[in-house]
Structure 1
Amino acid sequence: MISRLPRFAPALLALLGSCTAPGLLTGINGLLPGDAGAHRIAEAVPFGPSERLKLDVWSPRRAGHALPVVIFLYGGGWVAGSRTDYGFAGSAYAGQGFVTVVPDYRLVPTVRFPSFVNDGALAVKWTRDNIARYGGDPDRIVLAGHSAGSYNAAMLALDPHFLRDAGVPAGTIKAAALLSGPYDFYPFTEMRGRDALGNWPRPAETQPINFVGRSSPPMLLATGSDDDIVKPRNSQALAAKLRANGVPVELKIYPGKSHIDTVKSLSRPFRKSTPALADSAAFLHRILGS
Protein backbone atom coordinates (compact mmCIF):
# COMPACT_ATOMS: atom_id res chain seq x y z
CA MET A 1 0.00 0.00 0.00
CA ILE A 2 1.28 3.49 -0.86
CA SER A 3 1.61 5.63 2.24
CA ARG A 4 -0.30 8.88 2.33
CA LEU A 5 1.53 11.94 1.09
CA PRO A 6 2.16 14.65 3.69
CA ARG A 7 -0.41 17.44 3.72
CA PHE A 8 2.04 19.84 2.07
CA ALA A 9 2.74 17.47 -0.87
CA PRO A 10 0.75 19.47 -3.49
CA ALA A 11 2.69 22.63 -2.64
CA LEU A 12 5.93 20.68 -2.70
CA LEU A 13 5.18 19.24 -6.14
CA ALA A 14 4.45 22.72 -7.46
CA LEU A 15 7.74 23.96 -6.09
CA LEU A 16 9.65 21.15 -7.78
CA GLY A 17 8.61 22.45 -11.15
CA SER A 18 9.18 26.15 -10.63
CA CYS A 19 12.16 26.86 -8.35
CA THR A 20 15.91 27.07 -8.45
CA ALA A 21 17.62 24.58 -6.14
CA PRO A 22 18.09 27.15 -3.33
CA GLY A 23 14.57 28.43 -3.95
CA LEU A 24 13.26 24.91 -3.58
CA LEU A 25 14.99 24.63 -0.21
CA THR A 26 13.36 27.88 0.86
CA GLY A 27 9.97 26.63 -0.34
CA ILE A 28 10.23 23.35 1.53
CA ASN A 29 11.60 25.17 4.56
CA GLY A 30 8.46 27.28 4.69
CA LEU A 31 6.27 24.18 4.82
CA LEU A 32 7.97 22.76 7.90
CA PRO A 33 7.77 23.91 11.52
CA GLY A 34 10.82 25.00 13.45
CA ASP A 35 13.48 27.68 13.77
CA ALA A 36 12.04 29.07 16.99
CA GLY A 37 9.46 31.36 15.44
CA ALA A 38 11.85 32.83 12.87
CA HIS A 39 10.08 34.99 10.32
CA ARG A 40 10.80 37.65 7.73
CA ILE A 41 10.11 41.10 9.15
CA ALA A 42 11.21 43.24 6.18
CA GLU A 43 11.30 42.50 2.46
CA ALA A 44 12.97 44.16 -0.54
CA VAL A 45 14.42 47.06 1.46
CA PRO A 46 16.62 49.24 -0.81
CA PHE A 47 20.19 49.76 0.39
CA GLY A 48 22.00 51.14 -2.66
CA PRO A 49 21.58 52.99 -5.95
CA SER A 50 21.07 49.92 -8.16
CA GLU A 51 17.60 48.45 -8.60
CA ARG A 52 19.04 45.07 -7.61
CA LEU A 53 20.36 46.26 -4.25
CA LYS A 54 17.60 45.19 -1.91
CA LEU A 55 17.64 43.09 1.25
CA ASP A 56 15.38 41.07 3.51
CA VAL A 57 15.50 40.96 7.30
CA TRP A 58 14.66 37.87 9.35
CA SER A 59 14.12 37.73 13.09
CA PRO A 60 13.37 35.25 15.84
CA ARG A 61 10.68 35.97 18.35
CA ARG A 62 11.37 39.39 19.81
CA ALA A 63 13.46 39.04 22.92
CA GLY A 64 12.81 42.44 24.50
CA HIS A 65 16.43 43.43 23.98
CA ALA A 66 18.72 44.05 21.01
CA LEU A 67 19.93 40.85 19.36
CA PRO A 68 23.20 40.08 17.58
CA VAL A 69 23.11 40.48 13.80
CA VAL A 70 24.22 38.15 10.99
CA ILE A 71 24.60 39.40 7.42
CA PHE A 72 24.37 36.31 5.20
CA LEU A 73 25.89 36.52 1.70
CA TYR A 74 24.77 33.77 -0.65
CA GLY A 75 26.81 32.00 -3.32
CA GLY A 76 26.25 31.25 -6.98
CA GLY A 77 29.65 31.75 -8.59
CA TRP A 78 29.04 35.53 -8.82
CA VAL A 79 26.67 34.81 -11.74
CA ALA A 80 23.50 33.61 -9.99
CA GLY A 81 21.53 33.95 -6.78
CA SER A 82 18.73 35.91 -5.18
CA ARG A 83 17.90 36.82 -1.61
CA THR A 84 14.43 35.34 -2.10
CA ASP A 85 15.97 31.94 -2.82
CA TYR A 86 17.92 32.03 0.44
CA GLY A 87 15.10 32.59 2.88
CA PHE A 88 16.05 29.23 4.39
CA ALA A 89 19.40 30.75 5.45
CA GLY A 90 17.71 33.80 6.92
CA SER A 91 15.33 31.57 8.85
CA ALA A 92 18.17 29.31 10.00
CA TYR A 93 20.25 32.04 11.61
CA ALA A 94 17.19 33.83 12.97
CA GLY A 95 16.26 30.54 14.62
CA GLN A 96 19.66 30.60 16.30
CA GLY A 97 18.95 33.96 17.92
CA PHE A 98 20.25 36.44 15.34
CA VAL A 99 18.51 39.21 13.47
CA THR A 100 19.56 38.15 9.97
CA VAL A 101 20.05 40.33 6.91
CA VAL A 102 20.10 38.67 3.47
CA PRO A 103 21.13 41.19 0.78
CA ASP A 104 21.33 40.86 -2.97
CA TYR A 105 24.37 42.04 -4.90
CA ARG A 106 25.06 42.70 -8.56
CA LEU A 107 26.21 39.76 -10.66
CA VAL A 108 28.56 38.97 -13.53
CA PRO A 109 28.41 39.85 -16.43
CA THR A 110 26.65 43.10 -15.43
CA VAL A 111 29.59 43.87 -13.12
CA ARG A 112 33.03 42.49 -12.32
CA PHE A 113 35.31 42.65 -9.27
CA PRO A 114 35.24 44.66 -7.06
CA SER A 115 31.64 45.79 -7.63
CA PHE A 116 29.98 42.84 -5.89
CA VAL A 117 32.21 43.36 -2.85
CA ASN A 118 31.36 47.06 -2.83
CA ASP A 119 27.69 46.07 -2.83
CA GLY A 120 28.31 43.96 0.26
CA ALA A 121 29.94 46.96 1.94
CA LEU A 122 26.79 49.00 1.27
CA ALA A 123 24.73 46.24 2.89
CA VAL A 124 26.97 46.41 5.97
CA LYS A 125 26.54 50.18 6.09
CA TRP A 126 22.76 49.88 5.86
CA THR A 127 22.79 47.30 8.62
CA ARG A 128 24.99 49.40 10.88
CA ASP A 129 22.77 52.45 10.35
CA ASN A 130 19.32 50.83 10.45
CA ILE A 131 19.26 47.44 12.16
CA ALA A 132 18.32 48.84 15.60
CA ARG A 133 14.86 49.56 14.15
CA TYR A 134 14.47 45.81 13.53
CA GLY A 135 15.61 44.67 16.96
CA GLY A 136 19.29 44.18 16.11
CA ASP A 137 22.38 45.46 17.89
CA PRO A 138 24.56 47.56 15.53
CA ASP A 139 27.54 46.93 17.80
CA ARG A 140 27.31 43.14 17.33
CA ILE A 141 27.40 42.55 13.57
CA VAL A 142 28.95 39.41 12.08
CA LEU A 143 29.15 37.96 8.59
CA ALA A 144 28.20 34.55 7.24
CA GLY A 145 28.17 33.17 3.73
CA HIS A 146 28.58 30.30 1.33
CA SER A 147 30.84 29.86 -1.71
CA ALA A 148 31.09 33.15 -3.66
CA GLY A 149 29.22 34.77 -0.77
CA SER A 150 31.94 33.55 1.59
CA TYR A 151 34.49 35.14 -0.73
CA ASN A 152 32.64 38.46 -0.60
CA ALA A 153 32.35 38.24 3.18
CA ALA A 154 36.05 37.38 3.54
CA MET A 155 37.05 40.40 1.46
CA LEU A 156 34.82 42.65 3.58
CA ALA A 157 36.26 41.24 6.80
CA LEU A 158 39.91 41.23 5.76
CA ASP A 159 40.51 44.14 3.36
CA PRO A 160 39.60 47.25 5.38
CA HIS A 161 39.26 49.63 2.46
CA PHE A 162 35.89 48.25 1.31
CA LEU A 163 34.05 49.14 4.51
CA ARG A 164 36.08 52.31 5.05
CA ASP A 165 35.18 53.57 1.58
CA ALA A 166 31.49 52.85 2.31
CA GLY A 167 31.63 54.90 5.50
CA VAL A 168 31.51 51.96 7.90
CA PRO A 169 33.49 52.43 11.14
CA ALA A 170 36.53 50.22 11.66
CA GLY A 171 35.80 47.22 13.85
CA THR A 172 32.14 46.95 12.84
CA ILE A 173 32.53 43.31 11.77
CA LYS A 174 33.18 41.30 14.93
CA ALA A 175 33.54 37.83 13.34
CA ALA A 176 32.75 35.75 10.27
CA ALA A 177 31.47 32.19 9.78
CA LEU A 178 32.18 31.15 6.21
CA LEU A 179 31.14 27.99 4.38
CA SER A 180 32.98 26.46 1.42
CA GLY A 181 34.57 29.66 0.20
CA PRO A 182 37.45 30.45 -2.18
CA TYR A 183 40.14 32.51 -0.45
CA ASP A 184 43.41 31.58 -2.16
CA PHE A 185 42.76 30.61 -5.77
CA TYR A 186 45.03 32.60 -8.09
CA PRO A 187 45.92 31.86 -10.85
CA PHE A 188 42.32 31.48 -12.01
CA THR A 189 41.93 28.04 -13.50
CA GLU A 190 38.18 28.00 -14.06
CA MET A 191 35.78 30.18 -16.01
CA ARG A 192 33.80 31.76 -13.17
CA GLY A 193 36.90 33.00 -11.39
CA ARG A 194 38.32 34.42 -14.62
CA ASP A 195 35.03 36.08 -15.55
CA ALA A 196 34.45 37.62 -12.13
CA LEU A 197 37.98 38.60 -11.14
CA GLY A 198 40.27 38.27 -14.15
CA ASN A 199 39.69 41.84 -15.28
CA TRP A 200 41.49 43.29 -12.25
CA PRO A 201 45.02 44.44 -13.17
CA ARG A 202 46.56 43.41 -9.83
CA PRO A 203 45.40 39.82 -9.17
CA ALA A 204 46.92 39.67 -5.68
CA GLU A 205 44.33 42.25 -4.61
CA THR A 206 41.52 39.81 -5.42
CA GLN A 207 42.68 37.17 -2.93
CA PRO A 208 41.32 37.37 0.64
CA ILE A 209 44.31 35.50 2.07
CA ASN A 210 46.59 38.40 1.15
CA PHE A 211 44.82 40.77 3.54
CA VAL A 212 45.07 38.79 6.77
CA GLY A 213 46.59 40.80 9.61
CA ARG A 214 46.68 40.85 13.37
CA SER A 215 43.55 43.00 13.50
CA SER A 216 41.48 40.62 11.33
CA PRO A 217 38.27 39.42 12.99
CA PRO A 218 37.89 35.86 14.31
CA MET A 219 36.67 33.35 11.76
CA LEU A 220 35.08 29.96 11.49
CA LEU A 221 35.89 28.27 8.18
CA ALA A 222 33.84 25.19 7.34
CA THR A 223 34.04 23.00 4.26
CA GLY A 224 33.38 19.47 3.05
CA SER A 225 36.29 17.10 2.53
CA ASP A 226 34.81 16.07 -0.83
CA ASP A 227 34.23 19.57 -2.15
CA ASP A 228 35.42 19.43 -5.78
CA ILE A 229 34.12 22.91 -6.68
CA VAL A 230 36.01 24.97 -4.09
CA LYS A 231 38.79 22.78 -2.77
CA PRO A 232 39.18 22.47 1.01
CA ARG A 233 42.75 23.77 0.68
CA ASN A 234 41.21 27.28 0.44
CA SER A 235 39.86 27.05 3.99
CA GLN A 236 43.00 25.29 5.23
CA ALA A 237 45.30 27.96 3.80
CA LEU A 238 43.27 30.85 5.19
CA ALA A 239 43.03 29.19 8.60
CA ALA A 240 46.81 28.74 8.67
CA LYS A 241 47.38 32.39 7.75
CA LEU A 242 44.98 33.57 10.44
CA ARG A 243 46.67 31.41 13.06
CA ALA A 244 50.09 32.70 12.03
CA ASN A 245 48.83 36.22 12.71
CA GLY A 246 47.35 35.33 16.09
CA VAL A 247 43.73 35.62 14.93
CA PRO A 248 41.25 33.20 16.56
CA VAL A 249 40.07 30.71 13.94
CA GLU A 250 38.21 27.40 13.86
CA LEU A 251 38.56 25.09 10.87
CA LYS A 252 35.83 22.50 10.31
CA ILE A 253 36.23 19.90 7.57
CA TYR A 254 33.19 17.67 7.34
CA PRO A 255 34.15 14.16 6.16
CA GLY A 256 32.57 13.01 2.91
CA LYS A 257 30.60 16.23 2.40
CA SER A 258 30.38 18.24 -0.82
CA HIS A 259 30.30 21.91 -1.75
CA ILE A 260 26.51 22.01 -1.59
CA ASP A 261 26.14 20.00 1.62
CA THR A 262 27.30 22.86 3.86
CA VAL A 263 24.70 25.36 2.65
CA LYS A 264 22.01 22.71 2.15
CA SER A 265 22.31 21.83 5.82
CA LEU A 266 21.08 25.32 6.76
CA SER A 267 17.63 24.21 5.55
CA ARG A 268 15.38 22.29 7.91
CA PRO A 269 14.90 19.20 5.72
CA PHE A 270 18.68 18.64 5.52
CA ARG A 271 19.77 20.11 8.84
CA LYS A 272 21.39 16.86 9.96
CA SER A 273 23.56 16.47 6.86
CA THR A 274 26.32 18.63 8.37
CA PRO A 275 26.63 20.54 11.67
CA ALA A 276 27.43 23.76 9.79
CA LEU A 277 24.57 25.75 11.31
CA ALA A 278 25.18 24.63 14.88
CA ASP A 279 28.95 25.09 14.52
CA SER A 280 28.72 28.56 12.97
CA ALA A 281 26.04 29.84 15.35
CA ALA A 282 27.91 28.55 18.42
CA PHE A 283 31.13 30.17 17.20
CA LEU A 284 29.51 33.52 16.52
CA HIS A 285 27.64 33.58 19.84
CA ARG A 286 30.86 32.70 21.65
CA ILE A 287 32.81 35.51 20.00
CA LEU A 288 30.01 37.99 20.67
CA GLY A 289 29.42 36.78 24.21
CA SER A 290 25.73 36.35 23.43
Structure 2
Amino acid sequence: MASISQEGSTLEALEVDLFFSDLGQRSIEYNARASVPDFEACVAEYARLSTEAKSACSGLYNLKYGPTRAEALDLFLAPGSLQLSPVFVFIHGGYWRSQSKDDAALMAKVFTDAGIAVAVLEYTLLPLATLAEVVREMRGAISWLHQNAACYGIDPTRIFIGGSSAGAHLVGMLLADGWHEEFGVPVDTVKGAMAISGLYDIRPICDIEANDWLRLVPSQAERLSPLFKIPDKAPPLVLSVGGLETQGFRNQTRAYAEAWRAKGHQLMMIDAPDRNHFNLLSELAWPDRSLTCAVLNMIENSRR
Protein backbone atom coordinates (compact mmCIF):
# COMPACT_ATOMS: atom_id res chain seq x y z
CA MET A 1 0.00 0.00 0.00
CA ALA A 2 1.36 3.45 -0.87
CA SER A 3 0.05 6.52 0.92
CA ILE A 4 0.07 9.56 -1.36
CA SER A 5 0.41 12.97 0.24
CA GLN A 6 -0.85 15.98 -1.71
CA GLU A 7 -0.07 19.46 -0.37
CA GLY A 8 -0.86 18.67 3.23
CA SER A 9 -3.75 16.29 2.58
CA THR A 10 -3.58 12.52 2.30
CA LEU A 11 -5.43 10.58 -0.34
CA GLU A 12 -6.74 7.15 0.44
CA ALA A 13 -4.00 4.54 0.49
CA LEU A 14 -3.63 3.02 -2.95
CA GLU A 15 -2.58 -0.54 -3.70
CA VAL A 16 -0.16 0.72 -6.32
CA ASP A 17 3.53 -0.02 -5.99
CA LEU A 18 5.63 2.68 -7.63
CA PHE A 19 8.92 1.91 -5.85
CA PHE A 20 9.12 -1.91 -6.04
CA SER A 21 11.14 -4.24 -3.86
CA ASP A 22 14.65 -3.08 -4.69
CA LEU A 23 16.58 -0.73 -6.95
CA GLY A 24 17.39 -3.46 -9.42
CA GLN A 25 13.72 -4.25 -9.99
CA ARG A 26 12.84 -0.56 -10.08
CA SER A 27 15.45 0.04 -12.78
CA ILE A 28 13.83 -2.67 -14.89
CA GLU A 29 10.30 -1.31 -14.34
CA TYR A 30 11.23 2.19 -15.49
CA ASN A 31 13.48 1.25 -18.40
CA ALA A 32 11.00 1.70 -21.23
CA ARG A 33 13.52 1.20 -24.02
CA ALA A 34 14.62 -2.18 -22.70
CA SER A 35 11.00 -3.33 -22.41
CA VAL A 36 10.58 -3.74 -26.18
CA PRO A 37 12.80 -5.79 -28.52
CA ASP A 38 12.10 -3.54 -31.51
CA PHE A 39 12.73 -0.05 -30.15
CA GLU A 40 14.51 1.13 -33.30
CA ALA A 41 11.63 -0.11 -35.46
CA CYS A 42 9.16 1.83 -33.31
CA VAL A 43 11.21 5.01 -33.66
CA ALA A 44 11.40 4.47 -37.40
CA GLU A 45 7.62 4.07 -37.50
CA TYR A 46 7.20 7.42 -35.68
CA ALA A 47 9.38 9.09 -38.27
CA ARG A 48 7.59 7.47 -41.21
CA LEU A 49 4.09 8.23 -39.95
CA SER A 50 5.06 11.79 -39.06
CA THR A 51 6.63 12.41 -42.47
CA GLU A 52 3.55 11.06 -44.22
CA ALA A 53 1.20 13.17 -42.10
CA LYS A 54 3.20 16.36 -42.58
CA SER A 55 3.41 15.87 -46.33
CA ALA A 56 -0.41 15.81 -46.46
CA CYS A 57 -0.96 18.90 -44.29
CA SER A 58 -0.44 22.63 -44.45
CA GLY A 59 2.27 23.33 -41.89
CA LEU A 60 4.07 26.28 -40.35
CA TYR A 61 7.42 25.18 -38.98
CA ASN A 62 9.62 26.34 -36.12
CA LEU A 63 7.37 29.11 -34.83
CA LYS A 64 9.15 30.57 -31.81
CA TYR A 65 7.21 30.53 -28.54
CA GLY A 66 10.17 31.49 -26.35
CA PRO A 67 13.71 32.89 -26.47
CA THR A 68 15.86 29.75 -26.41
CA ARG A 69 16.75 27.75 -29.51
CA ALA A 70 14.56 24.78 -28.58
CA GLU A 71 11.45 26.81 -27.75
CA ALA A 72 9.68 26.28 -31.07
CA LEU A 73 6.62 24.53 -32.41
CA ASP A 74 5.23 23.21 -35.68
CA LEU A 75 1.63 24.18 -36.42
CA PHE A 76 -0.68 22.32 -38.78
CA LEU A 77 -3.84 24.18 -39.70
CA ALA A 78 -7.30 22.79 -40.30
CA PRO A 79 -8.24 23.42 -43.95
CA GLY A 80 -11.27 25.23 -45.26
CA SER A 81 -12.92 26.35 -42.05
CA LEU A 82 -14.57 29.77 -41.82
CA GLN A 83 -14.58 29.54 -38.03
CA LEU A 84 -11.74 29.48 -35.55
CA SER A 85 -10.66 25.88 -35.00
CA PRO A 86 -9.70 24.08 -31.80
CA VAL A 87 -6.07 23.06 -31.42
CA PHE A 88 -4.51 19.87 -30.11
CA VAL A 89 -1.07 20.55 -28.63
CA PHE A 90 1.21 17.51 -28.53
CA ILE A 91 4.34 17.06 -26.37
CA HIS A 92 6.78 14.32 -27.36
CA GLY A 93 8.40 11.83 -25.02
CA GLY A 94 11.96 10.53 -24.77
CA TYR A 95 12.53 10.53 -20.98
CA TRP A 96 12.99 14.32 -21.26
CA ARG A 97 16.41 13.79 -22.89
CA SER A 98 15.77 12.56 -26.46
CA GLN A 99 13.43 12.64 -29.48
CA SER A 100 12.00 15.78 -31.06
CA LYS A 101 8.90 17.37 -32.50
CA ASP A 102 10.08 16.48 -36.00
CA ASP A 103 8.95 12.87 -35.58
CA ALA A 104 5.94 13.56 -33.38
CA ALA A 105 3.36 14.96 -35.82
CA LEU A 106 1.89 11.60 -36.78
CA MET A 107 -1.64 12.67 -35.77
CA ALA A 108 -1.59 15.86 -37.88
CA LYS A 109 -3.48 14.56 -40.92
CA VAL A 110 -6.22 12.78 -38.92
CA PHE A 111 -6.84 15.77 -36.66
CA THR A 112 -6.72 18.50 -39.29
CA ASP A 113 -9.10 16.44 -41.44
CA ALA A 114 -11.44 16.58 -38.44
CA GLY A 115 -11.18 20.40 -38.32
CA ILE A 116 -8.67 20.50 -35.46
CA ALA A 117 -5.34 22.31 -35.73
CA VAL A 118 -2.28 20.51 -34.35
CA ALA A 119 0.70 22.12 -32.60
CA VAL A 120 3.73 19.93 -31.87
CA LEU A 121 6.08 21.36 -29.25
CA GLU A 122 9.84 21.22 -28.92
CA TYR A 123 11.61 21.75 -25.62
CA THR A 124 15.15 21.88 -24.30
CA LEU A 125 16.37 18.37 -23.62
CA LEU A 126 17.91 17.35 -20.32
CA PRO A 127 20.54 17.73 -19.00
CA LEU A 128 21.05 20.96 -20.96
CA ALA A 129 18.00 22.28 -19.07
CA THR A 130 16.55 21.27 -15.74
CA LEU A 131 13.15 19.60 -15.58
CA ALA A 132 11.74 22.70 -13.88
CA GLU A 133 12.92 24.76 -16.85
CA VAL A 134 11.25 22.37 -19.28
CA VAL A 135 7.98 22.71 -17.35
CA ARG A 136 8.34 26.48 -17.62
CA GLU A 137 8.90 26.18 -21.37
CA MET A 138 5.72 24.14 -21.79
CA ARG A 139 3.69 26.67 -19.85
CA GLY A 140 5.22 29.41 -21.95
CA ALA A 141 4.20 27.56 -25.11
CA ILE A 142 0.58 27.33 -23.97
CA SER A 143 0.64 31.03 -23.09
CA TRP A 144 2.07 31.89 -26.53
CA LEU A 145 -0.60 29.83 -28.28
CA HIS A 146 -3.37 31.41 -26.22
CA GLN A 147 -2.14 34.92 -27.01
CA ASN A 148 -1.47 34.30 -30.72
CA ALA A 149 -4.12 31.73 -31.58
CA ALA A 150 -6.46 34.00 -33.50
CA CYS A 151 -3.62 35.06 -35.82
CA TYR A 152 -3.53 31.46 -37.06
CA GLY A 153 -7.26 30.80 -37.19
CA ILE A 154 -7.29 29.01 -33.83
CA ASP A 155 -9.84 29.48 -31.07
CA PRO A 156 -7.94 30.44 -27.89
CA THR A 157 -10.83 29.12 -25.79
CA ARG A 158 -10.45 25.58 -27.22
CA ILE A 159 -6.89 24.50 -26.45
CA PHE A 160 -6.39 20.77 -25.82
CA ILE A 161 -3.15 19.05 -24.86
CA GLY A 162 -1.63 15.60 -25.17
CA GLY A 163 1.63 13.83 -24.54
CA SER A 164 3.34 10.47 -24.41
CA SER A 165 5.71 9.17 -21.71
CA ALA A 166 7.77 12.20 -20.55
CA GLY A 167 5.33 14.29 -22.58
CA ALA A 168 2.48 12.87 -20.50
CA HIS A 169 4.32 14.02 -17.37
CA LEU A 170 4.50 17.52 -18.86
CA VAL A 171 0.77 17.35 -19.66
CA GLY A 172 0.17 16.64 -15.98
CA MET A 173 2.21 19.69 -15.02
CA LEU A 174 0.11 21.81 -17.40
CA LEU A 175 -3.05 20.51 -15.73
CA ALA A 176 -1.72 21.56 -12.32
CA ASP A 177 -2.88 24.71 -10.57
CA GLY A 178 -0.76 27.67 -9.63
CA TRP A 179 0.98 28.83 -12.83
CA HIS A 180 -1.67 30.55 -14.95
CA GLU A 181 -1.51 34.05 -13.48
CA GLU A 182 2.24 34.25 -13.92
CA PHE A 183 1.88 33.33 -17.61
CA GLY A 184 -1.10 35.60 -18.23
CA VAL A 185 -3.67 32.94 -19.16
CA PRO A 186 -7.04 31.93 -17.66
CA VAL A 187 -7.07 29.02 -15.21
CA ASP A 188 -9.29 27.08 -17.63
CA THR A 189 -7.06 27.63 -20.68
CA VAL A 190 -6.67 23.87 -21.20
CA LYS A 191 -10.08 22.45 -22.10
CA GLY A 192 -9.12 18.78 -22.23
CA ALA A 193 -6.10 16.50 -22.11
CA MET A 194 -4.70 13.15 -23.20
CA ALA A 195 -1.81 11.46 -21.42
CA ILE A 196 -0.40 8.07 -22.41
CA SER A 197 2.32 5.91 -20.85
CA GLY A 198 3.17 8.68 -18.42
CA LEU A 199 5.37 9.21 -15.38
CA TYR A 200 3.23 11.00 -12.81
CA ASP A 201 5.30 10.40 -9.66
CA ILE A 202 8.96 10.84 -10.51
CA ARG A 203 10.31 10.22 -7.01
CA PRO A 204 10.97 6.53 -7.78
CA ILE A 205 13.45 7.39 -10.52
CA CYS A 206 15.64 9.56 -8.27
CA ASP A 207 17.70 6.47 -7.36
CA ILE A 208 18.11 4.89 -10.79
CA GLU A 209 19.80 5.64 -14.10
CA ALA A 210 17.32 8.29 -15.23
CA ASN A 211 18.53 10.56 -12.45
CA ASP A 212 21.84 10.87 -14.30
CA TRP A 213 20.05 13.51 -16.40
CA LEU A 214 17.17 14.46 -14.09
CA ARG A 215 19.52 15.32 -11.19
CA LEU A 216 16.74 15.57 -8.62
CA VAL A 217 16.41 14.73 -4.95
CA PRO A 218 13.05 13.28 -3.83
CA SER A 219 11.73 16.57 -2.42
CA GLN A 220 12.38 18.29 -5.75
CA ALA A 221 10.86 15.35 -7.62
CA GLU A 222 7.68 15.55 -5.55
CA ARG A 223 7.25 19.23 -6.47
CA LEU A 224 7.57 18.25 -10.14
CA SER A 225 5.22 15.25 -9.98
CA PRO A 226 1.67 15.62 -11.37
CA LEU A 227 0.40 12.99 -8.92
CA PHE A 228 0.77 15.55 -6.14
CA LYS A 229 -0.69 18.41 -8.17
CA ILE A 230 -4.18 17.23 -9.09
CA PRO A 231 -6.16 20.47 -9.62
CA ASP A 232 -9.34 21.27 -7.72
CA LYS A 233 -11.12 21.95 -11.01
CA ALA A 234 -10.12 20.10 -14.14
CA PRO A 235 -11.05 19.48 -17.77
CA PRO A 236 -11.79 15.99 -19.16
CA LEU A 237 -8.81 13.66 -19.27
CA VAL A 238 -8.11 10.65 -21.51
CA LEU A 239 -5.55 8.21 -20.09
CA SER A 240 -4.01 5.10 -21.62
CA VAL A 241 -1.09 2.76 -21.07
CA GLY A 242 -0.10 -0.25 -23.13
CA GLY A 243 -0.90 -3.70 -21.83
CA LEU A 244 2.60 -4.78 -22.88
CA GLU A 245 4.31 -2.05 -20.87
CA THR A 246 6.19 -2.75 -17.66
CA GLN A 247 4.33 -2.91 -14.37
CA GLY A 248 6.04 0.33 -13.40
CA PHE A 249 4.46 2.36 -16.18
CA ARG A 250 1.09 0.63 -15.73
CA ASN A 251 1.16 1.40 -12.01
CA GLN A 252 2.03 5.03 -12.69
CA THR A 253 -1.08 5.40 -14.85
CA ARG A 254 -3.25 3.60 -12.31
CA ALA A 255 -2.05 5.83 -9.48
CA TYR A 256 -2.74 8.99 -11.48
CA ALA A 257 -6.17 7.73 -12.56
CA GLU A 258 -7.15 6.96 -8.96
CA ALA A 259 -5.94 10.35 -7.76
CA TRP A 260 -7.88 12.03 -10.59
CA ARG A 261 -11.05 10.12 -9.72
CA ALA A 262 -10.60 10.91 -6.02
CA LYS A 263 -11.09 14.58 -6.92
CA GLY A 264 -14.27 13.73 -8.82
CA HIS A 265 -12.84 14.71 -12.22
CA GLN A 266 -13.98 13.36 -15.59
CA LEU A 267 -11.74 10.53 -16.79
CA MET A 268 -11.79 8.11 -19.71
CA MET A 269 -9.44 5.12 -19.64
CA ILE A 270 -8.61 3.57 -23.01
CA ASP A 271 -7.58 -0.08 -22.99
CA ALA A 272 -4.62 -0.99 -25.20
CA PRO A 273 -3.84 -4.62 -24.33
CA ASP A 274 -1.60 -5.31 -27.34
CA ARG A 275 0.37 -2.04 -27.34
CA ASN A 276 3.79 -1.34 -25.82
CA HIS A 277 5.38 1.86 -24.54
CA PHE A 278 6.41 2.97 -28.01
CA ASN A 279 3.74 1.84 -30.44
CA LEU A 280 0.75 3.06 -28.39
CA LEU A 281 1.34 6.59 -29.71
CA SER A 282 1.07 5.34 -33.30
CA GLU A 283 -2.64 4.70 -32.71
CA LEU A 284 -3.20 8.43 -33.21
CA ALA A 285 -2.21 8.12 -36.87
CA TRP A 286 -5.44 6.23 -37.60
CA PRO A 287 -8.91 7.81 -37.37
CA ASP A 288 -10.75 4.66 -36.27
CA ARG A 289 -8.59 3.65 -33.29
CA SER A 290 -10.09 3.84 -29.79
CA LEU A 291 -7.53 6.34 -28.52
CA THR A 292 -7.99 8.63 -31.51
CA CYS A 293 -11.78 8.47 -31.26
CA ALA A 294 -11.67 9.28 -27.55
CA VAL A 295 -9.59 12.42 -28.10
CA LEU A 296 -11.60 13.58 -31.12
CA ASN A 297 -14.87 13.04 -29.22
CA MET A 298 -13.53 14.97 -26.23
CA ILE A 299 -12.73 17.92 -28.49
CA GLU A 300 -16.03 17.71 -30.36
CA ASN A 301 -18.01 17.54 -27.11
CA SER A 302 -16.40 20.79 -25.95
CA ARG A 303 -18.66 22.61 -28.42
CA ARG A 304 -21.70 21.69 -26.35
TM-score range, shorter chain: 0.7 to 0.9
SS in structure 1 at match of 2:203: coil
Paired residues, number: 263
| Residues 212-246 of structure 1 deviation map (CA, whole Å, 9 limit, x = unaligned) | 13313221111111112862222221111111111
Instruction: Look up the match of 1:122.
Output: 140
Q: Give 1:173-188 correspondences, 5 Å limit.
A: 173-188=190-205
1:205: how far off? Answer: 0.8
Distance 1:75 1:124, change over 3 A: same
Moved more, 137-146 or 162-171: 162-171
Higher relative contact order, structure no. (Cα contacts within 8 Å, ≥ 6 residues apart): 2
Q: Show the counterpart of 2:295.
A: 280
Residues 71 and 100 in structure 1, CA contact (< 8 A), matched pair in contact too: yes
Q: Which residue of 2 is the match for residue 25 of structure 1?
A: 49
AA matched with 1:108: L
Match of 1:233 among 232, 238, 251: 251
Aligned pair partner of 1:105 in 123, 143, 146: 123
Output the CA distance in 2 between the equivalents of 1:231 and 1:129: 35
Change (3 A) 1:193 1:223: farther
Is the 8 Å Cα contact of residues 238 and 270 (structure 2) preserved in structure 1? yes
Report the secondary structure of 2:120's partner residue: strand
The residue correspondences of 1:3-82 to structure 2 (distance < 5 A) are 21-29=45-53, 39-82=57-100
CA contact (8 A) 2:203 2:218 kept: no
Is residue 264 from structure 1 mapped to residue 276 from structure 2 by the alignment?
no
Task: Tell me the CA shift for residue 199 of structure 1.
Answer: 5.1
Aligned AA (1:206): L
- 1:155 is aligned, of 147, 152, 173, to 173
Against the structure 1 CA distance between its residues 181 and 59, is the aligned structure 2 distance closer, same or farther, given a 3 Å change threshold? Answer: same
TM-score (ref. length: structure 1): 0.82
**Counterpart contact for 1:112–1:199, Cα < 8 Å:** no
Counterpart CA distance in 2 for 1:107 and 1:187 is 20
Deviation (angstroms), 1:169: 2.2
Tell me if structure 1 keeps the 8 A contact 2:59–2:75.
yes
C-alpha distance in 2, partners of 1:89/1:199? 36
Structure 2 residue runs of 5 or longer lacking an equivalent are: 1-39
Q: Does 1:170 align with 2:178?
A: no
Which letter maps to 1:145? G
Question: SS state of the match for residue 161, structure 1?
Answer: coil
Return the offset for 1:129.
0.6
Map of 2:114 onto structure 1:
96
